[in-house]
Structure 1
Amino acid sequence: MAKKLAFTKPVLLKQSGIFTSLLTHELRIIAKNSEYRNYRDGEPVFLTGESGNALYIVESGEVVIQKQDEYGPVIDFARFIEGNCFGELDMFTETKREASAYASRDTRLLVFPKAGTQFSDLLKEHPEISARILHKILVNIAVRIRGANSLIKENSPLMQELKKQVYRDKLTGINNHTYLMERIRKLIGDRKGFALIIVKPDNFKELNDNFGHEAGDSAIKVMARGLRDFIGDDSRTVRFKGNAMAVLCVGYNREEAYKVALEIRFFFNRLDVKDATGGKEFTLTASVGISLYPEHEIEPEALVFTTHELPLLGRRRGGISYYSPKTIRNANERNLCLSFPPGDD
C-alpha cells in the first residue's frame, strides 16, 4: 500500500475550521509560527493544570481528552481524529488546562503557536489576523454551547467589537479588504451575480508631493467617507488598499455597473479635499475598473486582483477599463480590457 502523503501546514490549518477565513498569505504566517510534534501511544500532549498556551490540530492518529472526577474515575469525554482542532479555548482565555490529553495511538499534531512563541505576540504583530482567529474561535464555541453564554452570541457587544476590528479600516472607518473578500466569497458561494468597481485617483502622488503624506492620509479619509455617503450604503463601500476604493453592486448588469462607475469618476472629480490640503484647491481625477460575476473570473482572489489592475490600464486609456469576455480570443488575452475614455461618455 502506498504511504499516505502528509498534509502541508497551510492545508491542514485550512481544514481545521479555526483558520478557514484566512487568505493564502495569512495562512503562511500562521504556518510559519506553527510546528509539528509526534507523540507515541499513551504519551501526554498536555496535563491538567498546565498552561493553555497552544491549540492542536490532528494530522494523523487520535487524541483522547480525559478528566478526573473529584470522587470518581478518570473519564474519557472527547476524542479528536484527523483534521480536528482542540485546545483553542484555553489558548484564547489564557487559562490552565482543566483536563489532560493523551495520544491513544502514534499521533502527529500541528501545534500553534510553536515553542518559544506566544499568541499574544502574534496578536500585537498581526492584529487583523488574530482578531479573525478569535472571532472564529468564539463562533465555534457559540455553536457548541448554543447560546448558553450571551457573551459569545453573534450579536453580542464582544462579537460586534471583534467584527469591527476585523472588517473596518482603521484610518477611514469604512469596510476593508477583508470584508470585501469574505463578502465576495459568500456571494459566489450563494451564486449571486454582482459587479465589482474599483476606483483609484490618477494624481494622488501629486497631492502627496505638494502637501505631504499627512495630507494624503487626510485625503484618503475624505475620499472614503465621501464615497460611502455618495453611494448611500455602508455595506457596499470599501477601502480596498492604499488610495483605492471599491464598491460592490449586487445584482448589477454591465450597463448598470458602467453607469455607477461613471458617476463615481465624476464624484471624485468634484470632491472637495481642501480640508486635507490646508484650504488650497486640488482637483482629483480618477480611473475605474469594473468586473462582473459570473461573467468573469470564478476565483474570488483572481477576480479582485484583475479588477484592481484595471484602473491602471484605464488611466493609460483615458478613464474606465471594463474587463469583458467579448475581448477574450485566447488564453493569453484573459486580462484584455475595453476602455471607455472621457470623450466616450
Structure 2
Amino acid sequence: MVSQAGEQLLQKTELFVRLLPDDFQCVCTLSEELTLPPGVTLFSPGETATRFYILIRGTVRVFKRKEGREEELALFTAGDTVGDFDFARQGRYDAFAETVEETDLICFPAARFSLADITRQYPSTMARVLLQSLAMIANRIRTTQRLISRNVPWVQELQRQAFEDPGTGLWNRTFFEEELPQMLSMPVGLIMTKPDRFKVLVDSCGHSAGDEAMVKIAALLQYLVRNYGKGWALRLKSNETALVLPGCSPTILRSMAEELYQRFLQIPPVGLPDGTTFTFSATVVYGLWGEEKKDSPALWKEYAQTVYDTLMNRWQEGGNGVYPAFPC
C-alpha cells in the first residue's frame, strides 16, 4: 500500500493514468513504498522485468558495464519512472539500476507479489494495465522516431523489442494495430490463418510442442513474404497469424492463400503419446483491402476485424481449407 502522496505519483504514471478508479485502487494495494540506502541495485541486465520503480526522493543511476568499465546511461530523480518500458514489454532489463543516495521510491508490484500471482488474482485489472502498456510502447516508439533517425542502431533495436514476437521472430499484434496502418499503400492483401486441432497437439505433447510448431509456421509465412518481395508476416495471438501484402492483385492473393494452405499440409506429422499421429492443416481466410473508394487507413482495423471474425467462424465450422473473407 502507498501513501496519499504516493497515490498522486502513481496517478501520473503513464501505465496507470487512464485506469478506472477500482483498477487504480487495486494498483495502489499492490504497490509499496521503500526507503533505500546508497548503492542498492534495483535490477541487473538479463533479469526478467517483473517490476518497475517511481522515485519520490533521491537519485537512481542506470548504467552498463563494458570491459570492466562503467558507462552511465541516465540519472533519474524525483518523479521519474525507472524500468517501466522493460516491464511493459514483458522483456528483460538491459542495464543496471542503482541508488546513488538515500532514495524513497514506489515499487510496483511490491516485492511480496509475483507478477504471475497478481495476474491470476486480478485478471481484469492486469489486462487493462497490459493494454495501456501496449499503447505506451507504441507512443514512445513514435515519439523517438520523430526526434531521432530511424537508422540509429539503438532505435532499430528499440523497435525490434517492441514489435517483434519473441517466440517466432514475426511482427506482433501491437505492430499490426498501431504502426502498420500508417505504412500501408492500397490495395493490400490480407491473409489470416489458424491451425486446425492445435489444442490436440498441445494437450498431448505439451506447450513446447506447440512452440516448435509455431516456429515452423512462422518460417512458412516468412518464406512467402520473401518470395513475394515485400510485406509483413505477423503473429496476432497464440496460434493465429497473418500475412499483409501491399500492392497485391486478387489473383496473386488467392494463389498465396492456397500456397500457404498447401505448405501447412506439408509440415511433418507429430507422433502422439497414444500412438496416433497429428497431421497439420489450417483454416486460411483472405481478403483484398483498398479496392473500394470508401476504404481508408482509418478503416484498416475494422476491415482486419471482419477478416478475423470470418477466420474464427470458418475454423469453428471445421476449417481445413481456404476461404474468401467476402464471398462473391
1:226 equivalent in structure 2: 220
SS of 2:18's partner is: helix
1:169 pairs with 147, 165, 170, which one?
A: 165
**TM-score with structure 1 setting the length:** 0.53
Alpha-carbon separation, structure 2, partners of 1:220 and 1:260: 19
Tell me: CA distance 1:187–1:118, structure 2 relative to 1, closer, same or farther (3 Å). closer
Letter in 2 for 1:197: I
Two-structure CA RMSD over aligned residues (Å): 3.8
SS of 2:155's partner is: helix
Alpha-carbon separation, structure 2, partners of 1:29 and 1:302: 27
Tell me: CA distance 1:96–1:275, structure 2 relative to 1, closer, same or farther (3 Å). farther
Alpha-carbon separation, structure 1, partners of 2:220 and 2:277: 17
Q: How many equivalent pairs are there? A: 218
Contact 2:233/2:241 (<8 A) preserved: yes
Report the alpha carbon displacement of residue 273 of structure 1 after superposing the two structures with TM. 5.7
2:141 pairs with 135, 148, 154, which one?
A: 135
SS of 2:278's partner is: coil
2:237 equivalent in structure 1: 241
Tell me: CA distance 1:176–1:280, structure 2 relative to 1, closer, same or farther (3 Å). farther
Report the alpha carbon displacement of residue 275 of structure 1 after superposing the two structures with TM. 10
| Cα deviation digits, residues 220-265 of structure 1 (max 9, x gap) | 1121123312442584211121111111111123232111111111
1:320 equivalent in structure 2: 322
Report the alpha carbon displacement of residue 171 of structure 1 after superposing the two structures with TM. 0.7
Correspondence 1:124 to 2:87? yes
Correspondence 1:32 to 2:28? no
Letter in 2 for 1:292: L
SS of 1:31's partner is: coil
2:7 equivalent in structure 1: none
Unaligned runs of 5+ in 2: 1-13, 25-56, 61-72, 91-132
Alpha-carbon separation, structure 2, partners of 1:141 and 1:198: 35
Correspondence 1:302 to 2:302? yes
Letter in 2 for 1:139: Q
1:290 pairs with 286, 290, 306, which one?
A: 286
SS of 2:253's partner is: helix
2:206 pairs with 205, 212, 216, which one?
A: 212
Tell me: CA distance 1:283–1:251, structure 2 relative to 1, closer, same or farther (3 Å). same
Tell me: CA distance 1:241–1:285, structure 2 relative to 1, closer, same or farther (3 Å). same
| Cα deviation digits, residues 113-145 of structure 1 (max 9, x gap) | xx8x94534641445635434333433433xxx
Question: Larger deviation: 133-142 or 164-173?
Answer: 133-142
Which structure has the larger Rg? 1
Tell me: CA distance 1:155–1:51, structure 2 relative to 1, closer, same or farther (3 Å). farther
Alpha-carbon separation, structure 2, partners of 1:28 and 1:271: 41
Alpha-carbon separation, structure 1, partners of 2:183 and 2:159: 19
Report the alpha carbon displacement of residue 164 of structure 1 after superposing the two structures with TM. 0.5
| Cα deviation digits, residues 162-212 of structure 1 (max 9, x gap) | 010122111111211222334541245x5x211100011111111112211
Report the alpha carbon displacement of residue 307 of structure 1 after superposing the two structures with TM. 1.4
**TM-score with structure 2 setting the length:** 0.55
1:157 equivalent in structure 2: 153
Which structure exhibits the higher relative contact order, with contacts defined as CA atoms closer than 8 Å and separated by 6 or more residues? 2
Letter in 1 for 2:18: A
Report the alpha carbon displacement of residue 215 of structure 1 after superposing the two structures with TM. 1.0
Report the alpha carbon displacement of residue 310 of structure 1 after superposing the two structures with TM. 1.9
| Cα deviation digits, residues 39-64 of structure 1 (max 9, x gap) | xxxxxxxxxxx9899xxxxxxxxxxx
Alpha-carbon separation, structure 1, partners of 2:140 and 2:325: 37
Contact 1:174/1:225 (<8 A) preserved: no
Letter in 2 for 1:285: S
Unaligned runs of 5+ in 1: 1-26, 36-49, 54-91, 98-114, 143-152, 325-336, 339-345
Report the alpha carbon displacement of residue 285 of structure 1 after superposing the two structures with TM. 0.9
2:267 equivalent in structure 1: 271
